[in-house]
Amino acid sequence: MPQTFPSPHKIKAERVAGFGTTVFTVWSQLAREHQAINLGQGFPDFAPPAFVMVGLKNQLDGYQQYSFLAGMPTLREALAEQYQRDWGRAVDPATEVTVTVGATEGIYATIQALIDPGDEVVLMEPFYDSYPASVTMAGGVCRYVPLRPDDEGSWYLDMDEFRSVVSPNTRMLVLNTPNNPTGKCFTREELQAIADVCIENDVLVLADEVYDHLLFDGREHCSIATLDGMWERTITLSSVGKTFSVTGWKIGWAITSPALTDALQMGLQWVRFSVATPLQLASAEAIQASATNGYYDELTASYQGKRDFLVDALKAAGLRPLIPEGTYFVIADTSDWGFENDESFCRHLVTEVGVVAIPPSHFYSPEHRHLAHHLARFAFCKKDEVLEEAASRLRNAR
Ligand SMILES: Cc1ncc(COP(=O)(O)O)c(C=O)c1O
């Protein structure tokens, strides 16, 4: 027998061998197979705003060569101005801003830069699924603490449970607010309680704030980096994807102290050195324009309408939505439909109803997976007519 090389069981390195295909790839494929409405993966199905596309066209004839490791100065300056306005503290575009390939690379690179093998990283469940993967690739150890819905359907972090997973080995907490998939927006008071534990235990915070412009009912986003004693230990990540409906651009950033910026850039220089130049410049234009053109208010109003519509549609279909405070996702309690678990409910939905939702147990550790058994995540970053068709299919399915 001729020997195959490399032998199949040696192809994957240990750090990736345990990974399966992401839940989004699997359910988007099922959506295509069943011609179902895809309320699974969180990408807008509508065009970005016109001023954003004008900015992109402006850059197509412009500079096309390598950018700097930290990112194009114009984008770093636009970001520094925006954060200075929002945070009321100066941000240095030269030493405190790093442009990344979406927030996803920011998450990966931050964890690779700061986590040594054996270091513990606390993740709240349900989590965005790139967090545990990035920790695993760094050789770190995930410690999990679930967010739980209270009797009114608002998600909260039990502080005793949180304290119980923090130990002398804890190096980092990953905090996502507004939170995917729960839609929770942590209040200043909640963040202060979390910050106190982090300071007391010398824990770094990776603050994933990609939905920082998507809050409803007049809520204001609060960044944990702005609390006393937190700037030095927080890496704040965001990106243009959700805010400007350009998830394919993959332009993100990390805002943090010069020391942590330096650590982050040490690794990044060997990963991709720099990020797509015209897209950085177009992102800078979009961010600068949005400081004065009222876009952020329009965005929130439009998404609030979509949220309210989908929440009502889910209720009409006999599901119990937990009202999201931000993001473009809603989690619904599916118990009344009588399925055994989230996987069987979502499978029924795609094959028999023609709507895709994501089974959230993928966003929990094995020991807490049961908490998701009667939940499903629906995305409402879709055209009104698509949401209307999904609503009609769900209503008729009951
Ligand atoms: C919580 C969270 N973080 C990060 C990302 C990835 O952001 P980007 O597309 O900028 O890489 C997503 C995308 O869905 C997300 O939901």
Task: Could you list the beta-strand ranges (E) of the chain.
Answer: 37-38, 97-101, 120-125, 141-149, 155-157, 170-176, 204-208, 234-239, 251-255, 320-322, 329-333, 355-356, 375-379
- First CA to last CA across the chain, in angstroms? 58
**Residue from 210, 331, 381 whose mutation best tests the ligand 1 pocket (most atoms within 8 A of CB):** 210
**Position in ligand 1 atom list of the atom nearest CA 247:** 9
How far apart are the C-alpha atoms of 37 and 181, rounded to whole Å? 19
Q: What is the pLDDT of residue 376?
A: 98
Average confidence (pLDDT) over 196-215: 98
The residues lining ligand 1, judged by C-beta closer than 6 Å to any ligand atom, are 42, 102-104, 128, 176, 180, 208, 210, 239, 241, 247, 250, 252
Phi, psi of 100 (to 5 degrees): -130, 165
Distance (angstroms) between ligand 1 centre and the Cα of 111 equals 15
Q: Which of 105, 242, 251, 283 to mutate to test the pocket of ligand 1 (most atoms within 8 A of CB)?
A: 242
The burial class, CB within 10 Å (0-12 / 13-18 / 19+), for 73 is middle
Atom 16 of ligand 1: nearest residue by CA position: 180
Q: Please choose, from the candidates 280, 272, 216, the residue with its C-alpha nearest in 3D space to the C-alpha of residue 250.
A: 280
Counting ligand 1 atoms within 8 A of each CB, the residue from 104, 134, 182, 240 with the most, and so the one to mutate, is 104
pLDDT at position 186 is 98
CA 105 to ligand 1: nearest atom: 11
CA 152 – CA 168 distance, rounded (Å)? 35
What integer pLDDT is reported at residue 8 of this predicted model?
60
- Residue 350 near residue 30, CB atoms below 8 Å: yes
The domain locations on the chain are: 8-48+295-397, 65-290
For residues 231 and 116, what is the distance between their CA atoms, to the nearest angstrom? 22
pLDDT tens readout for residues 21-75: 889 889 999 999 999 999 998 999 999 999 999 999 999 999 999 999 999 999 9
CATH class (in words) of the domain with range 65-290:
alpha beta
Contacts of 160 (CB under 8 A, 6+ apart): none
Q: Which two tokens stand for residue 258?
A: 């010069």
Q: For a pocket test of ligand 1, which of 175, 239, 246, 328 has the largest count of ligand atoms closer than 8 A to its C-beta? A: 239
* Rounded (10°) angle between helices 277-290 and 73-87: 30
- 281 residue type, one letter: L
CA distances from 244 to 44, 124, 213, 290 (A): 10, 27, 10, 10
User: Tens of pLDDT along 255-307?
Assistant: 999 999 999 999 999 999 999 999 999 999 999 999 999 999 999 999 999 99
Residue 101 CA: which ligand 1 atom is closest? Answer: 11
305-317 pLDDT, tens per residue? Answer: 999 999 999 999 9
CB 318 within 8 A of CB 334: no
pLDDT of residue 3 exceeding 70: no
Query: According to the model, what pLDDT value does residue 338 have?
Result: 93
The C-alpha atoms of residue 116 and residue 138 are separated, in whole angstroms, by: 7
Which pLDDT belongs to residue 5?
61
Query: pLDDT for 168-196, tens place per residue?
Result: 999 999 999 999 999 999 999 999 999 99
> Which CATH class, in words, describes the domain spanning 8-48+295-397?
alpha beta
CA 250 to ligand 1 centroid distance, Å: 9
Local confidence band at 163 (pLDDT 50, 70, 90 cut-offs): very high
- pLDDT given for residue 43 in this prediction: 93
Report percent pLDDT > 70 for the chain.
Answer: 98
pLDDT, residue 7, reads 66
CA of 357 to the centre of ligand 1 (A): 18
Task: Please tell me the distance between residue 358's alpha carbon and the centre of ligand 1 in angstroms.
Answer: 16
Residues 247-257 have a mean pLDDT of: 98
List the structure tokens of 122. 């606390």
Q: What does pTM read for this prediction?
A: 0.96
In degrees and rounded to multiples of 5, residue 128 shows phi and psi of -75, 130
Instruction: Write down the mean pLDDT value for the chain.
Output: 96
Query: Would you say residue 98 has pLDDT above 60?
Result: yes
pLDDT category of residue 14 using cuts at 50, 70 and 90? confident
Distance 2 CA to ligand 1 centre (A): 45
| Number of residues that make up the chain | 398
Six token digits for residue 270: 């060997």
Name the burial class of residue 297, with classes exposed (0-12), middle (13-18) and buried (19+) by CB atoms within 10 angstroms of its CB: exposed
How remote is the CA of residue 355 from the centroid of ligand 1, in Å?
23
> What confidence score (pLDDT) does residue 10 get?
75
Q: Is 193 exposed, middle or buried (0-12, 13-18, 19+ CB in 10 A)?
A: middle
Query: Can you read off the two tokens belonging to residue 108?
Result: 């990966």
pLDDT at 373: 92
Cα separation, 380 vs 357, whole angstroms: 11
> Has residue 243 got a pLDDT over 80?
yes
Distance, in Å, from the CA atom of 163 to the CA atom of 160, rounded to the nearest integer, reads 5
**Is residue 375 scored above 70 in pLDDT?**
yes
Greatest CA separation for the chain: 70
